């Protein structure tokens, strides 16, 4: 398990704890939360633990001395956990572009990857898909909407009978807000997600619909469809996670209580389903109503930016993700406004140079360049008076 101490990691640990006959956690990696990582390692009796942060790794090594748990350090240690010999499947649950190298390490070792790190496919979709194909490894979607599509398709690739896919979006905390109020939203307001408890970055990305835009790109790679055949529909109750539309006009939908333990268990158990004692069961008679509405790209321009980047292709989505990671971080620190986030992304995309040799280095270079541009934009804006701002950061 990579990203063991994050939101997905905690849910996955819960799944592992309820499925002792089916799952054994053998190795885990985290970035810096060494106390949580050590507690998990001891609870599950893992063979090895890696911490990306060197200081955290030293602290963990001291804590676990004599316990029989090998402690690895740095990015190399994380990659080693990703391809750990006794593991059948690697759960990739780190957040951000930092989650990409371990995904590639796992695939290159022929490990199936239960993929919760969407940035891997957003930034490096071609590289990740090709690596999986060449190494005979499967990508099993953990992202709730993609797991919903995967369930509707019974794990088969889409056939010629499929017309399009629909991903649902809760609409986030600003679904009913006007554009002006959204632009002035505070970090606390953006972090109040109405349906899913998640990490901070993805929660802010959900409030801007950037997360849904990334999910369109992710779905395009997972299911081999053009981005235009992947639609978004706002569904505030978060009960329907995805719909697939056939050429004859019929739809299939995947519905469940919004709980990440379901997609995690489905990805790890596929093609089997396991009883989930801790997840509340959906009662259709108690649902009352389910609402659906089109997304408003005027109030939520990040969604359109994602489609634009997907259509341009190559390294554009990598630049979009890199700029977004910086923009969200600066927003959470109070340095830029929520309404500045799409402007930072637009600036990064407008100045993005084409050119893609398909390598990890090219992806990381595009990511780094977009981050540098986003940082420069945020610096100009945070120094500028609040009034009279322009998209150029004036
Ligand atoms: Mg999702």
Write the DSSP assignment of 22-85 as a string of letters: T----EEEESS-HHHHHHHHHHHT-SEEEESSHHHHHHHHHHTTTTT-EEEEHHHHHHHHHT-T
Where do we find the tokens 């406004």? 337
Q: How far is the CA of 67 from the centre of ligand 1 (A)?
A: 37
Per-residue pLDDT, 240: 98
Q: How far is the CA of 243 from the centre of ligand 1 (A)?
A: 14
Per-residue pLDDT, 392: 43
By CB atoms closer than 10 A (0-12, 13-18, 19+), residue 183 is middle
Q: How far is the CA of 242 from the centre of ligand 1 (A)?
A: 10
Where do we find the tokens 């995309």? 349
Count Cα neighbours of 378 within 13 Å in the Cβ-side half-sphere. 25
297-316 pLDDT, tens digit each? 999 999 999 999 999 999 99
Q: How far is the CA of 315 from the centre of ligand 1 (A)?
A: 22
Q: How far is the CA of 141 from the centre of ligand 1 (A)?
A: 10
Q: Which two tokens stand for residue 137?
A: 């490894």
Q: How far is the CA of 383 from the centre of ligand 1 (A)?
A: 35
By CB atoms closer than 10 A (0-12, 13-18, 19+), residue 62 is exposed
Q: How far is the CA of 144 from the centre of ligand 1 (A)?
A: 5
Q: How far is the CA of 134 from the centre of ligand 1 (A)?
A: 27
Count Cα neighbours of 113 within 13 Å in the Cβ-side half-sphere. 36
Cα-based distances in Å from 251 to 175, 179, 238, 321, 388: 25, 33, 18, 31, 48
Indicate the helix (H) or strand (E) that contains 393.
Answer: none
What percent of the chain is helix, strand and coil (3-state, nearest 5)?
50, 15, 40
Q: How far is the CA of 55 from the centre of ligand 1 (A)?
A: 32
Q: How far is the CA of 70 from the centre of ligand 1 (A)?
A: 33
By CB atoms closer than 10 A (0-12, 13-18, 19+), residue 72 is buried
Ranges under pLDDT 50 in the chain: 388, 390-394
The answer to whether the Cα torsion of 376, 378, 383, 389 is positive or negative is positive
Q: How far is the CA of 216 from the centre of ligand 1 (A)?
A: 10
Q: Is 91 in a helix, a strand, or coil?
A: strand
CA–CA separation, 254 vs 165, rounded Å? 12
Count Cα neighbours of 321 within 13 Å in the Cβ-side half-sphere. 35
Per-residue pLDDT, 391: 44
CB atoms within 10 A of CB 33: 18
Q: How far is the CA of 196 from the centre of ligand 1 (A)?
A: 9
Strands lying side by side in the sheet with 139-141:
89-92, 112-115, 139-141
Cα-based distances in Å from 112 to 80, 83, 84: 15, 10, 12
Q: Which residues are CB-neighbours of 223 under 8 A, at least 6 positions away?
A: 149, 153, 157, 158, 165, 230
Q: How far is the CA of 65 from the centre of ligand 1 (A)?
A: 38
Per-residue pLDDT, 193: 84
User: Which of 297, 333, 133, 328 lies closest to 213 in space, CA to CA?
Assistant: 297
CA dihedral 111, 115, 116, 121 (to 10 degrees): 120
Q: How far is the CA of 228 from the centre of ligand 1 (A)?
A: 18
For the question of whether the overall pTM of this predicted structure is more than 0.85, the answer is yes
Q: How far is the CA of 174 from the centre of ligand 1 (A)?
A: 17
323-372 pLDDT, tens digit each? 999 999 999 999 999 999 999 999 999 988 777 677 999 999 999 999 99
Q: How far is the CA of 142 from the centre of ligand 1 (A)?
A: 8
CB atoms within 10 A of CB 295: 19
């Amino acid at each position: 398990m990579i990203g063991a101490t994050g939101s997905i990691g905690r849910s996955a640990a819960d799944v592992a704890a309820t499925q002792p006959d089916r799952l054994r956690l053998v190795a885990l990696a985290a970035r810096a939360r060494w106390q949580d990582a050590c507690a998990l390692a001891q609870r599950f009796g893992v063979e090895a633990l890696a911490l990306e942060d060197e200081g955290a790794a030293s602290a963990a090594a001291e804590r676990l001395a004599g316990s029989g748990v090998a402690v690895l350090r740095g990015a190399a240690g994380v990659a080693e956990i990703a391809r750990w010999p006794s593991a059948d499947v690697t759960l990739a649950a780190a957040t951000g572009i930092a989650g990409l190298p371990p995904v590639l390490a796992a695939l290159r070792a022929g490990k199936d990857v239960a993929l919760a790190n969407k940035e891997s496919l957003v930034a490096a979709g071609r590289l990740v898909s090709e690596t999986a194909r060449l190494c005979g490894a499967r990508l099993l979607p953990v992202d709730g909407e993609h797991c919903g599509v995967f369930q509707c398709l019974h794990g088969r690739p889409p056939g010629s009978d499929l017309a399009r896919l629909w991903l649902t979006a809760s609409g986030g905390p600003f679904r009913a807000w006007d554009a002006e109020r959204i632009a002035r939203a505070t970090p606390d307001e953006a972090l109040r997600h109405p349906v899913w408890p998640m990490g901070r970055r993805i929660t802010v990305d959900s409030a801007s619909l950037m997360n849904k835009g990334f999910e369109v790109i992710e779905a395009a790679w997972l299911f081999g469809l053009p981005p235009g055949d992947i639609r978004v529909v706002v569904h505030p109750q978060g009960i329907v996670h995805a719909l697939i539309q056939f050429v004859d006009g019929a739809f299939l939908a995947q519905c469940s209580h919004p709980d990440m333990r379901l997609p995690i268990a489905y990805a790890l158990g596929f093609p089997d389903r396991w009883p989930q004692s801790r997840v509340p069961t959906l009662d259709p008679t108690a649902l009352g109503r389910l609402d659906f509405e089109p997304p408003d790209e005027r109030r939520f321009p990040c969604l359109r930016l994602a489609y634009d980047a997907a259509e341009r292709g190559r390294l554009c989505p990598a630049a979009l993700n890199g700029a977004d990671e910086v923009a969200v971080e600066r927003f959470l620190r109070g340095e830029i406004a929520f309404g500045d986030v799409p402007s930072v992304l637009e600036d990064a995309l407008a100045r993005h140079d084409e050119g893609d040799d398909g390598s990890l280095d090219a992806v990381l270079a595009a990511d780094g360049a977009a981050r540098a541009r986003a940082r420069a934009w945020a610096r100009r804006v945070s120094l500028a008076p609040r009034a009279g701002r322009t998209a150029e950061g004036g």
